Chains A and B, each alone.
Chain A
């Protein structure tokens, strides 16, 4: 995990490319990129918990949804300004997630994944029927206040948010805490046997993950302007998040971002040829091939390519 010159080069090139993008592409592509940026934020959030500690969360759309619904309800039903509703939404996501999902962190392996999946499904069923006067039922909540006007401004906001989240996660994972979270993913008993409280470590990872998910969910809701239960508490949202991490490269920061962009653009590229649901088969097959070729994702393919190029030069 040592920093190497090509890491800096990759990051600088990536940030420059992102910021210059509106000069080269149209509004349609920018809107696709905005979605990719938000998906990348959700993927980074998932990776902080699941990619590091190995606790596979199937409940992340639940966390994203809490953030989105909280800010939507506060702004539309109670007239809160966005500046106040977003921080509250993040806080509610962390506290709500902690109450509902934290007990599940004491469960291991596939049981943890199943409990989190059940929580998400429960939300999908409950949100439309419990207090529909607040949640808007199956139709959701529309006409949310927008944070920006126009695709270009929306793009800059999404990119800056994604880069800020990535920088935050990168700095955190470079600390000893990041090493300890990695170690949990490899052998939790040994971490405990080294004198560290793994419950505390996992809880912290979960809180950070919920913070990022809530933040992304709240901003995304205001970008969309309309939210519905299906747009958040849905198994497809979950798969998009997980596949973005896996094909990009779990346990890295750039990996989930690359995975999110790759996936979103692949689907968009396939749309003219396969306008129906069948494009998901093609996308699934490509994702599977990448995963079979290199289980550590595109990041590992790039890394090994870089090593080969350096080796050839020397």
Chain B
């Protein structure tokens, strides 16, 4: 399998704090990889560096065989990688349909002004994540947390990305909503999407990933199958608090 993403010797320093410490890992095409670690381990910082929202101090990020460190976030998304956030960030006053429309927009002023709105594609994406037609014209401010997660998924999918970084994908969801989102991820996995996901809900995440890596203070502790990683003594000590 070719690698969708290769992280090599990634370092991020904030003054005297090292948030990512010489981190290296690969994400194969079509793979689903879980990134675990205690609070403050630097998981979101890794996501932000991959997406170009934070520039790494050193190290390389290669996507589909090309180094992308110099690219802006929109340029990285145009290459086919996108992310969701720990706390959903909808456009509150826009409808579900309009939120998806923003994700579908090409990054070109001419197309944005003269191009035609693709209502059919908006509806298709909304329905693919579980929205019903009656939801499409509801403002995002009226949605419950589970629906906001679905909306974030929909907008991320609308960008055309095939590699998705999911940050705390189950945070704030009810048991029913977790099942709904898990089903959605399984469906996307079946359609060949590649995932790097962060979640503290390990039982919910386990069936959704092929393998896991564990980090603490930005340093790689272990990688391998989910069970092997959780059995690792360092991981148990740092993440599960076992001596």
Binding site for B on A (CB under 8 A): 1, 172, 175-177, 179-180, 182-183, 186-187, 189-197, 200-201, 204
Contacts and interface: CB of A to CB of B under 8 A. Distances in A.
B70 interface: no
Contact of A204 (B83, B89, B92, B109): B109
B85 A182 contact: no
A195 B78 contact: yes
A195 B117 contact: no
Interface in B89-107: 89-94, 98, 101-103, 105, 107
Interface of A is mostly: helix
30 contacts: A172-B113, A175-B112, A176-B111, A176-B112, A176-B115, A177-B109, A179-B94, A180-B105, A182-B93, A183-B91, A183-B102, A186-B91, A186-B94, A190-B102, A191-B102, A193-B51, A193-B83, A193-B85, A194-B77, A194-B103, A194-B158, A195-B73, A195-B82, A195-B103, A195-B159, A196-B102, A196-B107, A197-B74, A200-B107, A201-B109
Contact of B155 (A180, A182, A194, A204): A194
A197 to B, nearest CB: 5
A197 B74 CA distance: 6
Contacts of B83: 193
Given A183-B102, A191-B102, 17 more contacts: A175-B113, A177-B109, A177-B113, A179-B98, A180-B102, A180-B105, A182-B94, A183-B91, A186-B91, A186-B93, A187-B90, A190-B102, A192-B73, A193-B89, A194-B159, A201-B109, A204-B109
A16 to B, nearest CB: 30
Contacts of B158: 194
B72 interface: yes
A195 B102 CA distance: 9
B83 to A, nearest CB: 7
Interface size class of B (residues with CB under 8 A): 20 to 34
Interface string B24-38: 000000000000000
A50 B75 CA distance: 26
A283 B140 CA distance: 36
A191 B112 CA distance: 14
Given A176-B105, A196-B105, A197-B74, A190 B98 contact: no
Contacts of A183: 91, 94, 98, 102
A54 to B, nearest CB: 11
Greatest chain A CB density within 10 A among B89, B90, B102, B112 is at B102
Greatest chain A CB density within 10 A among B78, B109, B114 is at B109
Contacts of A194: 77, 102-103, 105, 155, 158-159
Interface in B52-82: 53, 72-74, 77-78, 82
A194 B103 CA distance: 5
Nearest to B100: A194
A218 B103 CA distance: 39
A180 B105 CA distance: 9
Contacts of A204: 109
A12 B91 CA distance: 32
Nearest to B159: A195
A109 to B, nearest CB: 17
A187 B105 contact: no
A197 B105 contact: no
A188 B114 CA distance: 23
B77 A176 contact: no
Contacts of B112: 175-177, 180
- For the complex of A and B, list the 5 residue pairs with the smallest distance between their C-beta atoms, beginning with the closest: A195-B77, A177-B112, A190-B89, A186-B91, A176-B112
Contacts of B53: 189, 192-193
A200 B110 CA distance: 12
Contacts of A186: 91-94
Contacts of B91: 182-183, 186-187, 190
A227 to B, nearest CB: 34
B73 A193 contact: yes
Contacts of B89: 187, 189-190, 193
B159 to A, nearest CB: 5
Given A172-B113, A177-B112, A190-B89, A197 B72 contact: yes
Nearest to A195: B77
Interface in B161-195: none
B109 A192 contact: no
A4 B241 CA distance: 60
A183 B78 CA distance: 19
A190 B90 contact: yes
A201 B112 CA distance: 10
